[in-house]
Amino acid sequence: MKNIPETSLVSSFLVFYLVHSMQIGVGILGFQRIVAKTSGNDAWIAILVAGIGIHVLIWMIYKIFATQHGDITDVHRAIFGKWIGGALSSLIIIYCILLGITLLRTYIEIIQVWVFPEFNAMIFSVFFLALVFYIINGGFRAVTGIAFFGVVLPFYIVLAFLFPIKFSFFQNLFPILDHSIKDIAMAAKGSTLSFIGFEMLLIYYPFIKDAGKSQKWAHMGNVLTILLYLIAMIVSIGFFSQEQLERNIWATISMLKIAELPFVERIEYIAISSWILIILPNICIALWGASRVAKRVFNKRQRVFLLLFLAITALLTTYIDTRTQIDMLNNITAQIGFYFIYGYIPFLFVISIIRSKWKEKKA
């Protein structure tokens, strides 16, 4: 691939925000039900297991790029050839678009359920995606800037977890390790949708200045993600009974309802409104990734693909309307994400290592 201009590169420490902002999306608002369904009071252990697994996968990604050059499209082309590599890269395009649609439609559902029942999904999608186009059109640095503000500005929402603590019964956490390893593993798998997003490293890796030095920042971003999910999970287990937790679709928002401040009555409205700052970088990174890979595979202008993918996202976001359809969309995305990060990334890692050793032996 051609060398990316210095003016388009981002500092290595900004990978912290790129990784973390992509992982904290709508998942943290309702992941507890899915994780607690199989692991109960040991759900916090499943979060730790899932988080450690992500650390291993991040390490694998950096090892892949230590032996290969460019982005994921170059890795595919070098290992599998032009046609098979192009086909695999095309699947990543679909995956990125699916991720963007899932994030946007789930956020719109939250607004419709909690704030405005008659909220028009199409109108919101058009205006929101127009903003996404404006940001992505500014280049990867603009996308990175939004990721930075998407972490820093709404971080005050974390303080809302202080309110339910005084009503929590933390004896619910005991007995620890009351569930089998299989149950905890299944719960860790269920948290996949909450942790995916870090794999966008495969696409924006060449845009990182001194990319090899950014690995520690990627791991630190994941550490913060684990910490936030762990706090949310532990507080939820203490605040709800197990039966309540398994039935509550949006456990985090339900806990925010009890917060009382002298200047605002319904703090969950403020949290949901502020969450747009968290969703925005998620969708920007996903659709930037889709359009970037499309540009590399089909050798056309990125803006053309971006407009096409934005139109697809807007249409499908409007078409998917019922709770059943949205739940199915989330499940499909989680399943595909799980097999992609835990199946394909390790496979690519092994193949790239074997290829590197073979080339060294041949030389």
How far is CA 311 from each of CA 25, 101, 129, 132, 215, rounded to the nearest angstrom? 22, 11, 9, 12, 35
> What CATH number is associated with residue 98?
1.20.1740.10
Q: Is residue 362 part of a domain?
A: no
32 found inside a domain? yes
287 part of a folded domain:
yes
Q: What residues of the chain score a pLDDT lower than 70?
A: 1-2, 263, 363
- pLDDT at residue 166, as a whole number: 84
Q: Which residue has the tokens 């002298």?
A: 262
User: Is residue 363 domain-resident?
Assistant: no
- Residue 98 placed within a domain: yes
In a domain, 360, yes or no: no
Q: How much is the pLDDT for 359?
A: 77
Taking the CB of residue 173, how many other CB atoms lie within 10 A of it? 18
Over the stretch 135-172, which tens digit does the pLDDT of each residue have? Answer: 999 999 999 999 999 998 878 777 777 888 888 899 99
Q: Which of 9, 26, 277 is nearest to 144 (CA)?
A: 9
Whether residue 249 is contained in a domain is answered as yes
Buried/exposed code over 233-247 (b: 16+ C-beta within 10 A; e: otherwise): bbbbbbbbeeeebbe
Instruction: Give pLDDT, residue 229.
Output: 94
Tell me what pLDDT residue 342 has. Answer: 95
Question: Could you tell me the residue range of the domain that residue 263 belongs to?
Answer: 6-350
Instruction: Domain count for the chain, please give it.
Output: 1
pLDDT in the model for residue 357: 83
Q: In whole angstroms, what is the distance from residue 42 CA to residue 38 CA? A: 9
* Two structure tokens written together for 51: 């988080």
